[in-house]
Amino acid sequence: MPQRRRIAAAIVATAALCGLVPMTASGARFPNAVEKTFVVTGNAATSMAALLGMARSGSSALSLPLDKGVAWAVYLLKQDTKTPLSSGDGPPRSNRVTFSASPLPTLTLAPYWLDLATALPNSRPGYYSFSSPFIALDLKTGGSWTYMLRRLKKESGWDEHGFPLFQRCFASENGAEICVAVYDIKNYANGERNGYMETITLHAK
């Protein structure tokens, strides 16, 4: 758990600054973005879909916008603008989440992830993560991230003084583990504001 918290703290702190540097003097390194599709099955799929407000029967899909820091990491991977960018503010990116309730509950998440094996100093091979944009304390912004945050604040295990404020993991029938966590962060884009960031982390086995 301490290693998970250190990695998450590094991701949150760097993403909150909305700027990525490959290597700092201290040796800390923000993880690289990769394109992957991960599938979670069974109760883990149903539980995550419920937290996101997806239908429990049939099939449904939604889009999860990515934090600006993660979006910039994706830009560094794809380099897909006509004019090269160097500002740390890349094109907006989103991940697609789809859920099918039958014949086996299946949740599919794609395509952008941070490969935590490339993070330093606490490399975590086999772990992949992405995070939400900044969410203000009043939770007035819409979208699936905010919907999930409202639900998580009502769950047992929410700790207003914890780090993270909330974390829950689900074991998939296909051997993977998916976790959702919430952190309190500060945003300095338009003056200092307190708020939240959510992360989804998957351990592929």
85-126 residue pLDDT tens: 888 888 999 999 999 999 999 999 999 999 999 998 889 999
CB 95 within 8 A of CB 114: no
CB 134 within 8 A of CB 67: yes
Q: Label residue 26 by pLDDT band (50, 70, 90).
A: low
pTM for the structure as a whole: 0.86
**What pLDDT is attached to residue 184?**
94
> Domain spans of the chain?
2-203
> Positive or negative, the Cα torsion across 135, 140, 143, 149?
positive
34-69 residue pLDDT tens: 999 999 999 999 999 999 999 888 899 999 999 999
CB 16 within 8 A of CB 134: yes
CB 3 within 8 A of CB 93: no
